[in-house]
Structure 1
């Protein structure tokens, strides 16, 4: 499994350059009614400053909320890299092999990314609500243009940068 995650991380790292080049050709939303949304698509980049540093970027489709939903990660050509699904009492990660089950969404996220991410706050952020998450700073100033930036700068935990660019 560690080898699979290493390969996934390497593949996603290689996609970073492709995604940044593709960003020039992708439109973002000009304005939005964030409060009613439960589905988002676009690109995300995540960098975890652990040892070694973990970084990946991917196209994504996210739907639902912190209680129940799904996140699919895709290559620029549309192939699915990973699918995360969750509901109360259920969290599942599907990559190229057998689906893996986890006790919680937080356990799944920690396994997949190497860091704890504020999932409930992330859904609020995407809806334009600056919900506080311990150790995290979020910049929603560019959300009307489809951009969200969040950082964790905790000394005892690995620092994390999360960048999201939403598409129409």
Structure 2
């Protein structure tokens, strides 16, 4: 009679081993999840003269405009390069500047100007304080008339600024990519 129950007992033992294996895997996965939840978030540490990330620019006009893009910014206020990308990674605009002039190439047009601020306003459709933006990207709360800056989440790579005056009201949000996040 014991021979009749042996296949059932073996199947039960095999099922028990499989269940034990799944329990161990689930426990290990749960422990790993708990350990990951206990880690502190990465603190954003900028690389000198190089910033990558995403930006969102919203203007509250009669016909509100919203602009979201990825970007790569190299350099400083006096010399540098800004590339703006659409969600598919295609270059929407490339801006190059020196202390003498600035040039923007959108693929369909190329403009040259003595004013970097003028070309930035052309790209984004509204003025942005370029000199202050470089300070903000470094975590420096440089004040600009009409703008309210929020660097409370800078350690997470997040910058927010709101322009009340001159109209239209404009909000700028930047999420910086940490150098450790790069492949």
Counterpart residue number, 1:101? 112
Give the structure with the higher percent helix.
2
After TM superposition, the structure 1 = structure 2 runs for residues 30-109 of structure 1, keeping only pairs within 5 Å, are 30-34=42-46, 37-109=48-120
Aligned equivalents of 1:48, 1:65: Cα separation in 2: 26
Q: Are the counterparts in 2 of residues 30 and 146 from structure 1 also a CA contact under 8 Å?
A: no
Deviations 1:72-125 (A, max 9, x none): 111233211111111112111111224211221011122222222111111101
In 1: Cα distance, 2:170 partner to 2:109 partner = 28
Q: How many residues are treated as equivalent by the alignment?
A: 138
User: More displaced, 138-147 or 92-101?
Assistant: 92-101
Taking the aligned partners of 1:51 and 1:100, their CA distance within structure 2 comes to 28
Q: Which residue of 2 aligns with 1:7?
A: none
- Runs of 4+ in structure 1 off by over 4 angstroms are none
| 1:162 CA displacement | 0.3
- Give the TM-score normalised by the residue count of structure 1: 0.75
Residue of structure 1 in register with 2:127 after alignment: 116
- Residues 84 and 94, structure 1, Cα contact 8 Å, conserved in 2: yes
2:172 maps to 1:167: no
Whose radius of gyration is greater, 1 or 2?
2
Aligned counterpart, 1:150:
161
RMSD after superposition: 1.7
Q: What's the TM-score once normalised by structure 2's chain length?
A: 0.70
2:132–2:143 contact (8 Å) kept in structure 1? yes
Measure, in 1, the Cα distance between the counterparts of 2:98 and 2:42: 32
Shift of 1:157: 2.3
